[in-house]
Structure 1
């Protein structure tokens, strides 16, 4: 593959998981390792792996019209404000009023319940605004969008009894790594588009779970953050992510989405992205 060096430059997990998935399919004929941890633990691992793929390039979601961020807050050494409240004017979405989907953390995994009360409230406020934007901009095939109580970046769309994990990240990064989610994986379909401001975005529909289903992700670099929005498949029914590359690229161009990305870039809700050494 001609993209080996690019894989090590990506500061996220999606590239690694795509390669691992391709390797898994290549070694499918080898005898399986015994399950030493039990089916419940294995299910937890599958969920974490699916979320790690979705975590991709970054992202959180967007809110509408006017974004007002707090200005009387201390800045970090890069000049970015931290800990600010993101307020969005406009009509709240009815789905934002729904209770969060509860997802039990796996052993050793932190959840939003572990956050200090003020930070948890800040993240929940952001999630509610993100839900409104995602509900408006995602196609109806994704269903009703709700936030989850596991991570600020994790949401869920539910349609006809099928739950699709949604990961929306805006993650600080000191430099634009050149997000390249198209890795030459067999069966992967990629498309690029230019967002307002000349930002280059890439959408990729990629086979996962031994190629049985696909996940779809759009990613780009904004300001000082890596951004990504990923829709994962519904594993139980072997249903691929019900969204296309074109639909996610159109969503990424929408001003409400970019407004929330801008606000999250100015007031991060996640730890800075770490570059993988050895590139």
Structure 2
């Protein structure tokens, strides 16, 4: 690999990690113990770990044993995803190799999973890529899965990389505590799934406020569902997707099929909110 390729790979990795930092942007900042630079570094490290490990949430065992397939979900009895052919029987694009991202010290990646679970998660990613590619705006670019986390994808267009985080995570809570609050430059809009489930889309300024990140979230059955698109920091390009576009995506039957399948046979570890004081 030449110097240019090394630089491009390093830049891509930094963009992804910065985007993962934002997935828990509502967490309180750590105190500035040694100046602004050190404080920012500590906040980023905490947020990266939270994005993969559930932040202040306790990780419990993944629910994979005895998974039951949903009818017409495209998943077999083992819970392994099988990409369904569209109604016109056009051939599906062949799965592409993932974007390789090295975990930070102390982090785990999909490479650390048992072989059968890793294959199951990769098959879910391969099923999700064409669905998300077809529903996200063209500005997000060509979407690829990554090998760091089942929830992590990258869109690339004209040299810009946009990190996409798609999460369907089981939780012991009966409700999603997040609300539509327009504070600190954040804008949000409410919508509804075909069954009436409330969906919240938001666009929020990040970094120094010169770029924005967009996301949706809602509660489905036993899971909290979210999808976020992060900006390309190096070029100061905001996430190329609007609240209205994300609300339309959330209602698409192909997207909801992914959500239903992941809710029935989870590909992420379950979360349990710790009681106050623990």
Superposition TM-score tier, normalisation by shorter sequence: 0.7 to 0.9
Change (3 A) 1:49 1:175: closer
CA apart distance, 1:14:
6.8
Q: Is the 8 A contact 1:233 1:239 kept in 2?
A: yes
Aligned structure 1 segments of 4 or more residues deviating by more than 6 angstroms: 41-44
Aligned to 1:224: 222
Matched, 1:270 2:274: no
How many Å separate the matches in 2 of 1:42 and 1:19? 13
Q: Which runs of 5+ in 1 are unaligned?
A: 1-12, 56-64, 72-82
Q: Is the 8 A contact 1:101 1:146 kept in 2?
A: yes
Aligned to 1:173: 171
Q: Which runs of 5+ in 2 are unaligned?
A: 1-20, 56-70
Equivalent residue for 1:195, pick from 186, 193, 196: 193
How many Å separate the matches in 2 of 1:34 and 1:17? 18
CA apart distance, 1:181:
4.5
Aligned to 2:84: 89
Equivalent residue for 2:150, pick from 125, 140, 152: 152
How many Å separate the matches in 2 of 1:50 and 1:156? 19
Matched, 1:32 2:40: no
**Map of 1:196-215 to 2, 5 A cutoff?**
196-215=194-213
Matched, 1:48 2:48: yes
Q: Is the 8 A contact 1:15 1:181 kept in 2?
A: no
CA apart distance, 1:198:
1.1
Change (3 A) 1:92 1:240: farther
Change (3 A) 1:84 1:275: same
Q: TM-score, normalized by length of structure 1?
A: 0.74
Q: Is the 8 A contact 2:173 2:272 kept in 1?
A: no
RMSD over equivalenced CA pairs, Å: 3.4
Equivalent residue for 2:119, pick from 118, 121, 134: 121
Q: TM-score, normalized by length of structure 2?
A: 0.74
**For residues 30-64 of structure 1, what are the alpha-carbon distances to aligned partners after superposition, in whole Å with 9 as ceiling and x for unaligned?**
9934549xx9x889749828957x99xxxxxxxxx
**For residues 154-196 of structure 1, what are the alpha-carbon distances to aligned partners after superposition, in whole Å with 9 as ceiling and x for unaligned?**
0000111010110000000233323424344210000011111
SS in 1 for 2:236: coil
How many Å separate the matches in 2 of 1:50 and 1:211? 22
Aligned to 1:10: none
Aligned to 1:234: 232
Aligned to 1:254: 252
How many Å separate the matches in 2 of 1:106 and 1:15? 17
Equivalent residue for 1:68, pick from 59, 63, 74: 74
